[in-house]
Amino acid sequence: MDDEFNVTYITLIGYEEMGKYRYLLFFIMFIVYILTICFSFIIVCIIWIHKNLHEPMYIFIAALLVNSIACCTTLYPKLLVNFLSEKQIISYSACLLQCFLYYTFCASDFFLLAAMAYDRYVSICKPLQYPVIMTKTIVSIMLGLAWLVPACQVAVPIILSANVKLCHLTLDAIFCNNSIYSLYCVPSKERSIFDMFSLVSMALLPLLFILFTYTRILIISYRSGREVRKKAAQTCLPHLLVLICFSCLCGYDIIVIHLEVRSDIHSIMTLQAFLYYPLFNSVIYGLKMKEITKPLKKFFCRTKAI
């Protein structure tokens, strides 16, 4: 505790496990961070510039990539600074803010993926009703809810934690996540119940909805002609790849934190799990979506020519 400024600092001891690999990991993370920002920004700009891409599917892709940029910016700068620092510390208030932003953007990913799944369901299973159902107003509402609902739900436990008494000032992690509960003197049953409710409402329910919509798409595509199956494969495969990657990442986070799994390489594995997903998003949508790939190739061709 700093008495002069009344600020509580948390020491992140997860970096100790990385030892001599810290500078190598810093270099890799810095490169991945720059590539993620650049690739995502280019694809978002392509969707913004080309009017033929002003459709719900591509708008949701742009929103997902913007969400990835925001999530990266929440974690990466502080991680990079910590890799080069002698002592890895963060104020408790900044730790809570990082935790809030991190889980808000993660939950928003689930909501955006659910919105994308619904868009594909309407497009493939109800093509004649698509312009009536997926209007600009509906898309705007879905985007607003995808960010607003997670922010409100994640804010509740963070606010409740703001004045909780701390018995420990060392956190076995490399950034602030739900492991901050290990700092508290007395576990809160109410907070645990609310966290379980949040997990179900912000992750499990969207995931079940996505599985339901893609099951319906699979059934309709199987019964329809070759063109419908081809369209379904082209537009749904990238979403499924991103969903599987993101679900595995979140599953790892839940297993490690809530079941208190610990090992010598715990922090390195956590870092690897969260390192590649944002870049994976931009690569998948840049290479697998034909309407994005075409202007993307033209962009790089012009860059080479210059």
What pLDDT, in 10s, does the model give residues 63-98?
A: 988 998 888 888 888 888 888 888 888 888 899 999
What pLDDT, in 10s, does the model give residues 52-61?
A: 888 898 899 8
Contacts of 217-220 spanning 24+ positions with Cβ under 8 A: 217/120, 217/121, 217/124, 217/125, 220/124, 220/125
Residue 213 CA: distances (Å) to CA of 8, 68, 95, 125, 249: 47, 24, 37, 10, 22
**pTM assigned to the model:** 0.84
Which stretch of 6-15, 164-173, 185-194, 296-305 has the lowest confidence by average pLDDT?
A: 296-305
Any idea which fold 9-305 has?
Rhopdopsin 7-helix transmembrane proteins (1.20.1070)
User: DSSP label at 24?
Assistant: H
Alpha helices, H only, 126-166: 130-133, 136-161
What pLDDT, in 10s, does the model give residues 233-245?
A: 766 777 777 777 7
Quick check: 226 and 188 in contact, CB under 8 A?
A: no
**What pLDDT is recorded for position 139?**
94
Q: Enumerate the domain spans of the chain.
A: 9-305
